Structure 1
Amino acid sequence: MAEWVRVCGADGIEQEGVIRFDHAGRTYAVYRSPEDDYFCTDGLCTHEAIHLADGLVMDYEIECPKHGGIFDYRTGSAMRLPACRDLNTYPARLADGAVEILVG
Protein backbone atom coordinates (compact mmCIF):
# COMPACT_ATOMS: atom_id res chain seq x y z
CA MET A 1 0.00 0.00 0.00
CA ALA A 2 1.35 3.42 -0.96
CA GLU A 3 2.04 5.95 1.78
CA TRP A 4 3.48 9.45 2.05
CA VAL A 5 6.73 9.41 4.02
CA ARG A 6 8.44 12.47 5.51
CA VAL A 7 11.93 13.01 4.12
CA CYS A 8 13.04 16.29 5.73
CA GLY A 9 12.06 19.88 6.31
CA ALA A 10 11.66 22.04 3.21
CA ASP A 11 14.99 23.74 3.95
CA GLY A 12 16.76 20.36 4.26
CA ILE A 13 17.52 20.37 0.52
CA GLU A 14 19.30 23.28 -1.10
CA GLN A 15 17.86 24.82 -4.25
CA GLU A 16 19.25 22.79 -7.19
CA GLY A 17 20.35 20.19 -4.65
CA VAL A 18 19.85 16.51 -3.88
CA ILE A 19 19.87 14.38 -0.73
CA ARG A 20 19.91 10.67 -0.06
CA PHE A 21 16.88 9.15 1.65
CA ASP A 22 16.70 5.52 2.80
CA HIS A 23 13.39 3.93 3.75
CA ALA A 24 12.19 0.34 4.17
CA GLY A 25 15.31 -1.17 2.61
CA ARG A 26 15.29 1.12 -0.45
CA THR A 27 17.33 4.18 -1.28
CA TYR A 28 16.06 7.30 -3.01
CA ALA A 29 17.43 10.60 -4.28
CA VAL A 30 15.25 13.62 -3.47
CA TYR A 31 15.78 16.86 -5.41
CA ARG A 32 14.83 20.52 -5.13
CA SER A 33 14.49 22.28 -8.48
CA PRO A 34 15.49 25.85 -9.36
CA GLU A 35 11.79 26.77 -8.92
CA ASP A 36 11.58 25.13 -5.45
CA ASP A 37 9.64 22.09 -6.65
CA TYR A 38 10.56 18.68 -5.22
CA PHE A 39 11.20 15.43 -7.10
CA CYS A 40 12.24 11.90 -6.22
CA THR A 41 13.97 9.09 -8.14
CA ASP A 42 15.63 5.80 -7.35
CA GLY A 43 18.80 6.58 -5.48
CA LEU A 44 21.19 4.45 -7.53
CA CYS A 45 22.46 5.03 -11.05
CA THR A 46 21.12 2.42 -13.47
CA HIS A 47 24.60 1.98 -14.97
CA GLU A 48 26.60 0.85 -11.95
CA ALA A 49 24.58 1.31 -8.74
CA ILE A 50 26.43 4.41 -7.50
CA HIS A 51 24.37 6.70 -5.28
CA LEU A 52 23.18 9.76 -7.19
CA ALA A 53 23.06 11.96 -4.08
CA ASP A 54 26.84 12.32 -4.45
CA GLY A 55 26.38 13.68 -7.98
CA LEU A 56 26.11 17.15 -9.44
CA VAL A 57 22.69 18.77 -9.93
CA MET A 58 22.36 21.40 -12.65
CA ASP A 59 18.92 22.74 -13.54
CA TYR A 60 16.80 19.58 -13.91
CA GLU A 61 19.60 17.07 -14.35
CA ILE A 62 21.65 14.88 -12.06
CA GLU A 63 25.09 13.68 -13.14
CA CYS A 64 26.31 10.38 -11.73
CA PRO A 65 29.52 10.97 -9.78
CA LYS A 66 31.32 7.88 -11.11
CA HIS A 67 30.98 7.78 -14.90
CA GLY A 68 29.11 10.98 -15.73
CA GLY A 69 25.79 9.53 -16.90
CA ILE A 70 23.04 12.15 -16.79
CA PHE A 71 19.35 11.81 -15.92
CA ASP A 72 16.44 14.25 -16.00
CA TYR A 73 15.25 13.91 -12.41
CA ARG A 74 11.73 15.11 -13.28
CA THR A 75 11.08 12.14 -15.58
CA GLY A 76 13.91 9.73 -14.74
CA SER A 77 15.01 9.74 -18.40
CA ALA A 78 18.60 8.67 -19.08
CA MET A 79 20.10 11.50 -21.14
CA ARG A 80 23.81 10.68 -21.53
CA LEU A 81 25.78 7.45 -21.71
CA PRO A 82 26.82 5.32 -20.00
CA ALA A 83 23.37 5.59 -18.39
CA CYS A 84 20.97 3.88 -20.77
CA ARG A 85 18.10 2.77 -18.51
CA ASP A 86 15.71 5.32 -17.04
CA LEU A 87 15.29 5.81 -13.29
CA ASN A 88 11.99 5.13 -11.54
CA THR A 89 10.38 8.31 -10.24
CA TYR A 90 8.11 8.82 -7.24
CA PRO A 91 5.68 11.61 -6.41
CA ALA A 92 7.06 14.26 -4.05
CA ARG A 93 5.29 17.13 -2.34
CA LEU A 94 5.67 19.84 0.26
CA ALA A 95 3.22 19.36 3.14
CA ASP A 96 3.21 21.39 6.35
CA GLY A 97 6.76 22.58 5.71
CA ALA A 98 8.13 19.08 5.08
CA VAL A 99 9.18 17.23 1.95
CA GLU A 100 7.29 13.94 1.53
CA ILE A 101 7.53 11.17 -1.07
CA LEU A 102 4.96 8.56 -2.00
CA VAL A 103 6.40 5.06 -1.61
CA GLY A 104 5.06 1.52 -1.61
Structure 2
Amino acid sequence: MTADAIRLCAADDLADGDMRRFDLDGQDPIVLCRIGDDYLAVDDECTHAIASLSEGRLEGEVIFCPLHGGSFNVRSGKACSLPCKQKLRTYPIEIADGAIWVTP
Protein backbone atom coordinates (compact mmCIF):
# COMPACT_ATOMS: atom_id res chain seq x y z
CA MET A 1 0.00 0.00 0.00
CA THR A 2 1.26 3.48 -0.79
CA ALA A 3 2.31 5.71 2.10
CA ASP A 4 -0.25 8.41 1.29
CA ALA A 5 -3.25 6.05 1.02
CA ILE A 6 -6.31 6.99 3.09
CA ARG A 7 -8.65 4.43 4.64
CA LEU A 8 -12.22 4.92 3.46
CA CYS A 9 -14.20 2.08 5.02
CA ALA A 10 -14.37 -1.65 5.60
CA ALA A 11 -14.76 -3.61 2.36
CA ASP A 12 -17.98 -5.13 3.69
CA ASP A 13 -19.55 -1.69 4.24
CA LEU A 14 -20.58 -1.49 0.57
CA ALA A 15 -22.76 -4.11 -1.11
CA ASP A 16 -22.52 -4.83 -4.82
CA GLY A 17 -24.06 -1.87 -6.69
CA ASP A 18 -23.70 0.55 -3.77
CA MET A 19 -21.89 3.88 -3.77
CA ARG A 20 -20.89 6.29 -1.02
CA ARG A 21 -19.46 9.79 -0.85
CA PHE A 22 -16.33 10.50 1.16
CA ASP A 23 -15.08 13.96 2.14
CA LEU A 24 -11.31 13.82 2.51
CA ASP A 25 -9.38 16.51 4.38
CA GLY A 26 -7.96 19.02 1.92
CA GLN A 27 -9.33 17.12 -1.11
CA ASP A 28 -12.40 17.30 -3.30
CA PRO A 29 -15.09 14.75 -2.35
CA ILE A 30 -14.96 11.36 -4.03
CA VAL A 31 -17.57 8.68 -4.58
CA LEU A 32 -16.65 5.04 -3.98
CA CYS A 33 -18.58 2.49 -6.04
CA ARG A 34 -18.69 -1.27 -5.68
CA ILE A 35 -19.25 -3.37 -8.79
CA GLY A 36 -19.03 -7.05 -7.93
CA ASP A 37 -15.67 -7.48 -6.22
CA ASP A 38 -14.28 -4.24 -7.73
CA TYR A 39 -14.13 -0.94 -5.86
CA LEU A 40 -13.79 2.20 -7.97
CA ALA A 41 -13.41 5.83 -6.92
CA VAL A 42 -14.05 8.97 -8.97
CA ASP A 43 -14.66 12.65 -8.28
CA ASP A 44 -18.07 13.14 -6.69
CA GLU A 45 -18.77 16.41 -8.51
CA CYS A 46 -20.26 16.27 -12.01
CA THR A 47 -18.03 17.98 -14.58
CA HIS A 48 -21.05 19.59 -16.27
CA ALA A 49 -22.62 21.37 -13.31
CA ILE A 50 -22.20 21.43 -9.56
CA ALA A 51 -24.01 18.29 -8.46
CA SER A 52 -23.05 15.38 -6.23
CA LEU A 53 -22.88 12.18 -8.25
CA SER A 54 -23.35 10.14 -5.09
CA GLU A 55 -26.91 11.50 -5.03
CA GLY A 56 -27.53 10.03 -8.48
CA ARG A 57 -27.70 6.36 -9.40
CA LEU A 58 -25.27 3.64 -10.36
CA GLU A 59 -26.24 1.22 -13.13
CA GLY A 60 -23.55 -1.33 -13.83
CA GLU A 61 -20.38 0.70 -14.49
CA VAL A 62 -22.24 3.94 -15.22
CA ILE A 63 -23.03 6.65 -12.68
CA PHE A 64 -25.80 9.13 -13.52
CA CYS A 65 -25.87 12.75 -12.39
CA PRO A 66 -29.04 13.61 -10.43
CA LEU A 67 -29.20 17.12 -11.91
CA HIS A 68 -29.28 16.71 -15.70
CA GLY A 69 -28.98 12.94 -16.19
CA GLY A 70 -25.54 12.96 -17.79
CA SER A 71 -23.42 9.93 -17.08
CA PHE A 72 -19.88 8.66 -16.60
CA ASN A 73 -18.13 5.30 -16.67
CA VAL A 74 -16.71 4.79 -13.17
CA ARG A 75 -13.85 2.57 -14.41
CA SER A 76 -12.43 5.11 -16.84
CA GLY A 77 -14.07 8.36 -15.71
CA LYS A 78 -15.13 8.93 -19.33
CA ALA A 79 -18.30 10.94 -19.97
CA CYS A 80 -20.92 8.63 -21.49
CA SER A 81 -23.85 10.92 -22.25
CA LEU A 82 -24.64 14.60 -22.68
CA PRO A 83 -24.61 17.13 -21.25
CA CYS A 84 -21.41 15.72 -19.72
CA LYS A 85 -18.32 16.00 -21.94
CA GLN A 86 -15.32 16.20 -19.60
CA LYS A 87 -14.14 13.02 -17.87
CA LEU A 88 -14.01 12.52 -14.12
CA ARG A 89 -10.75 12.00 -12.28
CA THR A 90 -10.31 8.40 -11.14
CA TYR A 91 -8.40 7.32 -8.03
CA PRO A 92 -6.31 4.22 -7.30
CA ILE A 93 -7.95 1.84 -4.84
CA GLU A 94 -6.26 -0.81 -2.72
CA ILE A 95 -7.80 -3.44 -0.48
CA ALA A 96 -5.78 -4.32 2.61
CA ASP A 97 -6.69 -5.74 6.01
CA GLY A 98 -10.35 -5.91 4.99
CA ALA A 99 -10.50 -2.18 4.26
CA ILE A 100 -10.71 0.04 1.18
CA TRP A 101 -7.88 2.55 0.75
CA VAL A 102 -7.65 5.38 -1.77
CA THR A 103 -4.66 7.36 -2.94
CA PRO A 104 -5.78 10.92 -3.70
TM-score (norm 2): 0.92
Aligned match of 2:30 in 13, 28, 31? 28
Q: How does 1:52-71 map to 2 (within 5 A)?
A: 52-71=53-72
What are the superposed Cα offsets for residues 16-38 of structure 1, whole Å, 9 maximum, x if unpaired?
A: 111000112320011101x2111
Distance 1:81 1:68 in 2: 8
Write the distance in 2 (CA, Å) between the matches of 1:80 and 1:70.
5
1:4 and 2:5 aligned: yes
Unpaired stretches in structure 2, ≥5 consecutive residues: none
Runs of 4+ residues deviating >3 angstroms: none
Identity %: 39
- AA in 1 matched with 2:87: D
TM norm structure 1: 0.92
State the partner residue of 1:96.
Answer: 97
Query: Which runs of 5 or more structure 1 residues have no equivalent in the other structure?
Result: none
Residue range with higher mean Cα deviation, 70-79 or 49-58: 49-58
**Hey, which of these two has a bigger chunk of strand by percent?**
1
Partner-residue secondary structure (3-state), 1:79: strand
Write out per-residue CA displacement over residues 50-97 of structure 1, whole angstroms, 9 at most, x where no aligned residue. Answer: 111111111111001111011000000000001110000010121111
The alignment covers a number of residue pairs equal to 101
